[in-house]
């Protein structure tokens, strides 16, 4: 890999994205059909310095705001949401280190991010109940004090291209931790068996860990996150909002171009072009309102996080202050996530009614927008976000400190 650029301030990010986004967008329709990733674009992203955006300042990063990180996810997702999704476990792995990692862990892994290392995900398991308490992946302690990791994960986003995989597992005391594992370590097998109809290029398949040796200081005690109120889960959700909004942006852009230049008016229409039809204009006007509302909700959620997350993290904050701050972040994020996911799914489907049958041509690949957002929006149930918002408004009950919101 070429030398990695060091980003000095957040003002650089927009110009970096201007350069990278067209590269990410190249051949996106064909990659969607093939389920492949743009290796050249991933290398360019790693060399750009973007992978170190949320590295703390004291470790050489710029500690970028959630507003900036949301912008990155939105713009990359507009080009290719599969690439944007690979950012989510990466930034989440670094965020967890910043909250509960030891000095040694932080110094080493943050330097890896500054060196352009991608961090992939090994969290979820299939075949059993959902929830950390049901995980079967374990680490066993060796006589020398290190660990041996055994387990099998699915939905391992980004694992096939990462330098490191953050693997959720139980420690010998049955507590949840994260083993940071080299992808090329002996005993690690990454399979390309993800077969979802959308987000085909996220490499979210199976990873297997067979007696993998883990230095003891590569194991992060994740259970400590939940000893007090936390906003780590909400931080991860911000990326999902940016991703759904980026898909909405791309779908709307493609729909505009198709209706303006290619769609034909119905036989009974008195208009020469669909772009003159008042019914079509009304529908696109409503699309524009929903797009603006989603963008505003993401901005509010990110700014709420940037304003209140320091209170959640501060050692001097009381339990009550931290809980209220974490709840306000979760509620803002929940509203943005629920609304944006619903609008992205709806717009990427309804747009075909305005384009006509010609818009369904496989060569155009416009169905990828709906397939991608429909698949991605199932990451966790939107209905529970709406439930927590209603429960807070009606009964004053704060959302749970579960890491899901």
Q: Could you tell me if residue 345 is inside a domain?
A: yes
What proportion of the chain, given as a percentage, has pLDDT over 90?
Answer: 83
3-state SS, one letter per residue, for 319-359:
HHHHHHHHHHHHHHHHHHHHHHHHHHHHHHHHHHHHHCHHH
Residues 268 and 362 in one domain: yes
Q: Are residues 138 and 246 in the same domain?
A: no
On whether both 144 and 265 belong to a single domain, the answer is no
Please report which helix (H) or strand (E) contains residue 142, including its range. none
Q: Looking at the structure, do residues 37 and 83 belong to the same domain, yes or no?
A: yes
**What SS3 state is found at 362?**
coil
Q: Looking at 180, 205, 222, which one is the last position of a domain? A: 222
* Least confident stretch, 139-153, 167-181, 206-220, 310-324: 310-324
Among residues 229, 222, 202, which one has the least CA distance to residue 88? 202
Q: Which residues contact 154 (CB under 8 A, 6 or more apart)?
A: 124, 125, 126, 204, 205, 206
Q: How many domains does the chain have?
A: 3
Axis crossing angle, helix 12-25 with helix 66-79, rounded to the nearest 10 = 20
CATH number of the domain bearing residue 318: 1.20.140.10
Rounded to 5 degrees, what angle do the CA atoms 109, 111, 112 make? 60
pLDDT, tens digit, 9 for 90 and up, residues 223-279 = 999 888 999 999 999 999 999 999 999 999 999 999 999 988 888 889 888 889 999
Domain C-terminal end among 118, 151, 185: 118
Question: Is the distance from CB of 246 to CB of 84 less than 8 angstroms?
Answer: yes
Q: Domain holding 198: CATH number?
A: 2.40.110.10
| 272 lies in the same domain as 162 | no
Is residue 233 located within the same domain as residue 250? yes
Residue that is last in its domain, among 65, 93, 118:
118
Lookup: tokens for 218: 């590569």
* CATH number of residue 62's parent domain: 1.10.540.10
Residues 267 and 366 in one domain: yes
pLDDT of residue 68 exceeding 50, the answer is yes
Same domain, 332 and 261: yes
Condensed to tens digits (0 to 9), the pLDDT of residues 307-362 reads 999 999 998 889 899 999 999 999 999 999 999 999 999 999 999 999 989 999 99
The yes-or-no verdict on residue 210 having pLDDT over 80 is yes
Residue with tokens 């949401």: 81
First-to-last CA distance in the chain?
36
Cα dihedral 6→110→61→176 (10° resolution): 140
Please give the residue range of the domain that contains residue 59.
12-118
Within 10 angstroms of residue 106's Cβ, the number of other Cβ atoms is 19
Residue 236 maps to a domain: yes
Residue 403 has pLDDT above 60, yes or no: no
Q: Contact 160/203 with Cβ under 8 angstroms?
A: yes
pTM of the model: 0.94
């Amino acid at each position: 890999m070429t030398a990695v650029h060091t980003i000095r301030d957040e003002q650089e990010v927009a110009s970096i994205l201007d350069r990278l986004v067209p590269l990410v967008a190249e051949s996106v329709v064909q990659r969607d059909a093939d389920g492949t990733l743009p290796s050249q674009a991933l290398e360019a992203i790693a060399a750009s310095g973007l992978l170190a955006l949320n590295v703390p300042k004291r470790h050489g990063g710029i500690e970028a705001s959630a507003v900036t990180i949301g912008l990155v996810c939105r713009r990359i997702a507009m080009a290719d949401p599969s690439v944007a999704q690979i950012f989510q476990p990466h930034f989440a792995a670094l965020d967890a280190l910043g909250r509960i990692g030891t000095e040694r862990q932080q110094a080493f892994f943050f330097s890896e991010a500054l060196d352009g290392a991608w961090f992939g995900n090994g969290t979820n398991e299939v075949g059993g109940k959902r929830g950390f308490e049901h995980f079967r992946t374990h680490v066993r302690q060796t006589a020398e004090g290190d660990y041996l990791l055994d387990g099998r994960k699915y939905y391992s986003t980004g694992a096939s291209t990462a330098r490191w995989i953050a693997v959720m597992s139980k420690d010998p005391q049955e507590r949840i931790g994260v083993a940071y594992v080299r992808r090329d370590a002996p005993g690690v097998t990454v399979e390309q068996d993800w077969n979802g109809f959308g987000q085909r290029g996220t490499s979210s398949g199976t990873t297997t860990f067979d007696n993998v040796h883990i230095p003891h200081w590569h194991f992060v005690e994740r259970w400590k996150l939940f000893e007090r109120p936390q906003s780590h889960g909400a931080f991860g959700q911000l990326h999902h909002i940016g991703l759904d909004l980026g898909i909405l942006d791309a779908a709307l852009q493609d729909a505009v171009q198709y209706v303006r230049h290619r769609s034909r008016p119905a036989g009974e229409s008195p208009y020469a072009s669909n772009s003159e039809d008042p019914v079509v204009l009304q529908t696109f006007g409503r699309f524009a309102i929903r797009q603006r509302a989603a963008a505003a909700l993401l901005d509010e959620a990110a700014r709420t996080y940037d304003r209140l997350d320091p209170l959640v993290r501060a050692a001097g904050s009381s339990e009550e202050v931290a809980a209220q701050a974490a709840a306000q972040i979760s509620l803002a994020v929940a509203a943005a996530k629920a609304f944006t996911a619903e609008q992205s799914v709806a717009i990427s489907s309804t747009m075909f009614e305005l384009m006509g049958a010609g818009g369904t041509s496989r060569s155009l690949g416009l169905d990828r927008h709906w397939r991608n957002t429909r698949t991605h929006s199932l990451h966790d149930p939107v209905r529970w976000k709406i439930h927590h918002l209603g429960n807070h408004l009606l009964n004053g009950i704060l959302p749970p400190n579960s890491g899901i919101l």
